[in-house]
Structure 1
Amino acid sequence: MSKPNEGNAEVDIPPELLITNFNNPIEAIVQSTYPNLLSRYQNGQFVQSRAILASTIEAVDQINDYVLKLVPGEQREYYSADKIDKSQINDAQAFEFDMIPPEFLNSLKASDIANHRFTLKVGTPITLLRDLDPSQGFVTGTRLIVTRLGQFVLQAQIMSGKNAGNMILIPRIPMSPSRSPWPFKLVRRQFPISVSYAMTLDKPQGQSLNNVGLYLPRSVIRHDQLKVAFSSVKSKNGLKILIQDKDDKAMSSTINAVFKEVFGNL
């Protein structure tokens, strides 16, 4: 029998944490998390100390695209080469998978592989999706800032921590999801990074940020999602939450499969 504070429950968010007055929710969460962005977007300390966390990959991409259009600078688009790993499938399956168009493979997304297409500018914050050089601090989850855009390699610099300032050249590498949500193994050759003005809720584990904007375009249902979001911000004053329903109207509660006492840890 579930206790009153366990299981799926509708959790009311404290009013002081909520963003409720907005016309464009993405604009509102960006302005709250990155105030005066156009005058501070090249300030590594400003960028590295904050992030927007969103509950879906689609929302993360929308926010990152929105911010990249805001900040000035020459941009460059990067595209992956996608294929299906046929090493562990039979001939019949191989024939079926050969019928899948490349455009479909390009459309697939998972939180632990790079998107097929992304846009970068010098000064863009990124997160590593693979270990590249652990001895120098270049491990999965490290946040960096792009310093040079090349055709075949990217140059980036660690923004904070004991390895702050270390530079790395990032090549394209083959990647596959750790757990494939599809009936085949996708192999995507791309730079092992994601743009990180916004991140999915599982990305900031272990990070401590001054400002976190939590964007929930739909209810949170995983038991650890709110916990991760709240544990990534240093103080309650640095957290703002925007929740919207299907009609883009502000909400003050969310469905959360976790102890309601999560707010008591802030």
Structure 2
Amino acid sequence: MIDAIYPDIENLHQNDFRWLCCRAIVSPRNETVKEINNLIMQKVPGEVKCYKSIDTVTNIEDAVHYPQEFLNSLNTAGLPPHELSLKVGTPIMLLRNLRPPNMCNGTRLLIKELKDNLIVAKIITGPAAGELAHIPRIPMIPTDLPIPFKRLQFPVKISFALTINKSQGQTFKLVGIDLRKECFTHGQLYVALSRVGAPDHQYILLPENNITSNVVYREALQ
């Protein structure tokens, strides 16, 4: 599937940004998306630059209960990882609103330069497509974890592959749908299958039994 959606990935730097913004791989699960992104980035030429976050508890009295190593290990779909590995030329997605309407949560960009405390990238989706943007590290407090802590990191993730939820509202010319792990909520499969207008522009990867489930709330059918 990777070769079908991103052919000749070794020559990624030679492609126009419009080539990248019109294709993606989607999957229901965040762990699958992470696995695919890591596999593709290994094929992209260039040096990896790793940025480590600074993680702190919001209440200083909790510091003794949650050591640094534990905070570093925490991950959630809406939060960048503690160790963020990036390469020039790879696509990324914003995880926070920085400068609406041009730089919002879900905006995709193409990395042009990786500095110690700044990412220079070209916006490839939305009304400002083609413009250069500067992304700083910002403090982020996750709302879907029971532990109150703050992560200082660049608010981005690699976006060769996206979760189906993150792809909602976007339209592509070519999409790979990884369904090795089933959809787990109402409407996910429909969202994945409706990212492109033509069925022959979709590639679907199924588990070995070639069967996947479509989750639908019974109330929606009544």
Q: TM-score, normalised by structure 2?
A: 0.89
The one-letter code sitting in structure 1 at the alignment partner of 2:30 is I
In the alignment, does 2:46 pair up with 1:73?
yes
Q: How does 1:86-165 map to 2 (within 5 A)?
A: 86=59, 94-95=61-62, 98-135=64-101, 137-165=102-130
Equivalent-residue separation in structure 2 for 1:101 and 1:173 (angstroms):
21
Query: Residue 211 of structure 2 aligns with which residue?
Result: 253
Q: What letter matches 1:228 in structure 2?
A: V
Aligned-partner SS, 2:166: coil
Q: How many residues align?
A: 216
- What is aligned with 1:223? 186
1:33 matched to 2:5: yes
**1:151 is matched by which residue type in structure 2?**
D
Amino acid at match of 1:258: V
Asked whether the equivalents of residues 41 and 47 of structure 1 are also in contact (C-alpha less than 8 Å), the reply is: no
Shift of the alpha carbon at 1:226? 1.1
Verify: 1:49 aligned to 2:22, yes or no: yes
Does the aligned pair in 1 maintain the 2:53–2:83 contact within 8 Å? yes
Q: Deviations over 1:63-105 (max 9, x none)?
A: 1111111011122011111122228xxxxxx44x522232222
CA gap 1:221/1:155 in 2 versus in 1, 3 angstroms:
same
More contact order relative to length (CA 8 Å, sep ≥ 6): 1
Give the aligned partner of residue 204 of structure 1.
Answer: 167
Using a 3 Å threshold, how does the CA distance of structure 1 residues 148 and 208 change in structure 2: closer, same or farther?
Answer: same
Q: Which runs of 5+ in 1 are unaligned?
A: 1-28, 88-93, 245-249, 260-266
Instruction: State how far apart, in whole Å, the 2-side matches of 1:183 and 1:144 are.
Output: 31
For 1:173-188, list aligned pairs within 5 A: 173-177=138-142, 179-180=143-144, 182-188=145-151
Give 1:131 shift: 1.1
Distance 1:209 1:185 in 2: 37
Residues 28, 184 of structure 2: 8 Å contact kept: no
Structure showing greater Rg: 1
Code of the residue aligned with 1:183 in structure 2: it is P
Identity of aligned residues (%): 38
Query: 2:36 maps to which residue?
Result: 63
What is the TM-score with the length of structure 1 in the denominator?
0.75
Contact 2:12-2:44 at 8 Å conserved across structures: no
Cross-structure match for 2:198: 235
Q: Compared with structure 1, are the counterparts of its residues 124 and 40 closer, same or farther at alpha carbon in structure 2 (3 Å cutoff)?
A: closer
